[in-house]
Amino acid sequence: MLISGTSLTAKLDLQLRAKIDKLSLKPRLAIVQIGDNPESDSYVGAKKRGAEKLGIKVHHVQIKKHISTLELISKVQELGKDKNIHGIIVQLPLPTILDTKRIITAVPANKDVDGFNHESPFTPPVALGVLEIIKATEKNLHSKNIVVLGRGITGGDTVIRTLDKLNIPHVVIHSKTHNPDEILKKADIIISAVGKPEIIKAKVLKPGVKLISIGITKTKNGLVGDYNEEEIKDIASFYTPTPGGIGPLTVHFLMENVYEAAKN
């Protein structure tokens, strides 16, 4: 069964918009974007559209020219001091010459709506999206064999940290894992954040498995996730599509975090 993140988001957006409309101020999100990257443009565009639909203002700081790590940290800190800015995100990936970890850490914890910093009070939107999808069909995660593929900063790591925080047992597969297929064969729920088409093969899945693809890749045939949907649809009890799976929910929960930041 296909689980549509777009359908789940539509209901959640209505609830969030009602809460935002009751605020005495307009929540404001700063998006810092560096360089000229078409994929980043696409992600930023989705966030801007999501914010506008919910009544959240966006301050888009787009820096096309060369900038140093220290200069960008200074810019982020400047935004952090602005009382009219409630949330700040730095659009990733950054150019390789920049120190991503130092720049992300410069975002004040109370405005880190991406939840990348361990001190942030906000749960990462990607992880919230994953939990929302699982919640639609699964009540007790603690008794399930959960496997997370990948541990990148924008995907797998956020899910791993959130599961750790909730004391939900899970196994992580990464590039140095020796027996990934054997681990996958036993999985009840697979959360894949690799960003490599068909990294998950139908032949290693047990019947009834639940599949969530965070990973996304742009190909000549469009956007694809980490598994071939045609191959797995009769094996999995549910799976998320690409596009229209985790993406819309991630944008929603980002805006939910901005609302919480503005409210507080």
Residue stretches of the annotated binding site for NADP(+) = 150-152, 216
Question: What is the pairing mode between strands 238-239 and 210-213?
Answer: parallel
**Residues 57, 51: contact at Cβ < 8 Å?**
yes
Give the C-alpha separation, 125 to 215, whole Å.
Answer: 15
Q: What are the beta bridge partners of residue 200?
A: 227
Give the C-alpha separation, 26 to 20, whole Å.
Answer: 8
Alpha-carbon distances of 33 from 1, 22, 68, 91, rounded to whole Å: 37, 30, 14, 5
Q: What are the beta bridge partners of residue 59?
A: 30
Give the C-alpha separation, 115 to 123, whole Å.
Answer: 5
Q: What are the beta bridge partners of residue 217?
A: 224
Give the C-alpha separation, 129 to 135, whole Å.
Answer: 10
Cα-flanking dihedrals φ and ψ of residue 149, to 5°?
-100, 125
Residue with tokens 């539509």: 10
Tokens describing residue 59: 């301050």
Give the C-alpha separation, 102 to 73, whole Å.
Answer: 8
The sign one gets for the Cα dihedral 217, 251, 125, 131 is negative
- Annotated binding residues, written as ranges, equal 150-152, 216
